A and B are shown apart, each in its own frame.
Chain A
Amino acid sequence: MNEIVISILLVTGSFFMLVAGLGMLRMPDLFLRMSCSTKAATIGVGTLLFALALYFANLGVATRALATIGFIFLTAPVGAHRIGRIAYLVGVVLWEGTIKDELKGVYPADACLPFGQECLIPDMDAPEVKSKIEEEKP
């Protein structure tokens, strides 16, 4: 009985990992791919670790497994957010089917200059950056 439950959990987790891989290959855009890899892979690894905690049925192992689940649930969105922000600033093009781009007009258009120039996130509170954003607004 216990083995059947653990098997179901394992198959579910590996299926979610496969969905993450498929989305990584098939999605048209960096940001869609990133959402696939973080959501599906986080759920998949969480399910696999839960199956491991059920298999060993030991307090120490279960605590470590739950701590690892919590760590992955906390850190995967942080990494994804950071890469997404940097990718947007560096000029990764969005998919042509994108409906809403909420960051459009938030950063100045020359936040990241062509090759050989400075490429830093601008200080958004500086007055010259603020006036430039106001000028570029449609």
Chain B
Amino acid sequence: MILQTTIYFIVFPLLSLTLVLGFIRLLLGPKLPDRIIAFELIAITSAAIIVVSAIANDQAVLLDVASAWAIISFLSVIALSFYIEKWRGRP
């Protein structure tokens, strides 16, 4: 009971606020690397939301989704930095 209340009234709002702040930086970010790190924060916050949903819904399977999500976000960050490196010109 106390766990459900904590999750729905404290944890989810804090994580959603983090997502909003990340999206603001994604819009503001003056250069492309700023946008990439904002994207990284958004991806890792989504993984955290999936983990908390696993506790809220009592579904242990969602942990696999979260770990796959973390792997894919790491790979996408590496790929984006690779393409900036190979790109001609300043961002």
Q: Show the binding face of A for B, using Cβ within 8 Å.
A: 3-4, 6-7, 10-11, 13-15, 17-18, 20-22, 24-25, 30, 33-34, 37, 41-42, 44-45, 48-49, 51-52, 55-56, 58, 61, 64-65, 67-68, 71-72, 75-76, 78-80, 82-83, 86-87, 89-92, 112-121
Contact = CB atoms under 8 A, between A and B. Distances in A.
A14 B15 contact: yes
Given A64-B64, A64-B67, A45 B44 contact: yes
Interface residues of B, number: 52
A48 B52 contact: yes
Contacts of A87: 31, 33
A92 B31 contact: yes
A6 B56 CA distance: 12
Given A33-B37, A71-B70, A115-B89, 7 more contacts: A21-B41, A49-B51, A61-B63, A64-B63, A79-B78, A89-B85, A119-B89
A58 B74 CA distance: 27
A48 B63 CA distance: 11
B78 to A, nearest CB: 6
A65 B61 CA distance: 11
A7 B11 CA distance: 9
A14 B6 CA distance: 11
A19 to B, nearest CB: 9
Contacts of B15: 14, 17-18
A22 B77 contact: no
B68 to A, nearest CB: 10
Contact of B81 (A25, A71, A83): A83
